[in-house]
Amino acid sequence: MTGDMRPEDFKTVYDRFQASVSRFDCGRFCSPLNGGQPVCCDTAHAIPIVDKPEFELLKGRTDLWHKYKPTDANARKIVAELHKGCMAIECKGARFCERDNRTLACRAFPFYPYFTKQGELIGLGTYWTFADRCWLMSNMQVVERQFIKEFIAAYEYVFERDPEELTAMKKHSANHRRQSTRLNKPILLIGRKGGFLKVMPKTAEVRPAAEKDLVKYGPYKSPRAYAKAVKEYGGEMPKQSPFVD
Ligand code: SF4
Ligand code: SF4
């Protein structure tokens, strides 16, 4: 983000966006396939990008976060291409997580605010490149209503103040539509008022969707696929089964 959000505006966002995404500790389900680290808390997979005023706020509240130092060519490229108002940061790791000092990106993952071609914010899209690793993306039925409400309110608050972030998310939604058309598969969304929606490839028409339309990916397709993946990776099976209603 690069716009007009001040550190105190991020504090307001943090105060209002505290709901847990679901009643599950989903890191327990993806971490056996990632060396014991939740995938979204590992900069080898996801580098948290924040607006500089957001880092200002965090620095004043905690020593959990530091500036991220790229470790390979790909990460160097990501950091080099950031807008000057943004920066890449890294926390001390999941064992040291401080719930109140999570970034907006931490609170929202794996979702982003989805905009139609006409510019309407209709729901929560997913960061689709994580579908093979993120358990939650195969289990969107567990997302709590309160989380959806707070997510939408938080982003609307940001968009009212930061037009560049609004443009970035509209662009991201357009990229998602291009990817959906390429694969000829609909985009599945959580509607801003709950329920599910699907955005059809090519036409971008938005239709209601049902739980049966949700897709399971990779190791989360079946208990057998999960057990096999954990065994091949050399991880430890979680105590609670990742296959939930
Ligand atoms: S949101 Fe996805 S990647 Fe992050 S901890 Fe949960 S299952 Fe893992
Ligand atoms: S602050 Fe917590 S949620 Fe955010 S990346 Fe670190 S461990 Fe994960």
Candidates 63, 89, 102, 104: which one to mutate for ligand 2, based on the most atoms within 8 Å of Cβ? 102
Is residue 1 scored above 50 in pLDDT?
Answer: no
136 CB under 6 A from ligand 1? yes
Q: How far apart are CA 106 and CA 90, in angstroms?
A: 11
Reported as a single tens digit per residue, the pLDDT across 205-239 is 999 999 999 999 999 999 999 999 999 999 999 99
CA of 57 to the centre of ligand 2 (A): 16
Measured by CA distance, the residue closest to atom 2 of ligand 2 is: 97
Mean pLDDT, residues 83-96 = 95
Which ligand has an atom closest to residue 30 CA?
1
Q: How far apart are CA 92 and CA 162, in angstroms?
A: 29
In one-letter notation, the amino acid at residue 120 is E
Report residue 3's pLDDT band, with 50, 70 and 90 as the boundaries: low
Reported as a single tens digit per residue, the pLDDT across 154-204 is 999 999 999 999 999 999 999 999 999 999 999 999 999 999 999 999 999
The long-range contacts involving 227-236, CB below 8 angstroms and separated by at least 24 positions, are 229/33, 230/32, 230/33, 233/32, 233/33, 235/31, 235/32, 235/33, 235/35, 235/36, 236/32
**Which atom in ligand 1 lies closest to the alpha carbon of residue 109?**
1
pTM for this model (two decimals) = 0.96
Is residue 151 scored above 90 in pLDDT?
Answer: yes
**Which atom in ligand 1 lies closest to the alpha carbon of residue 45?**
3
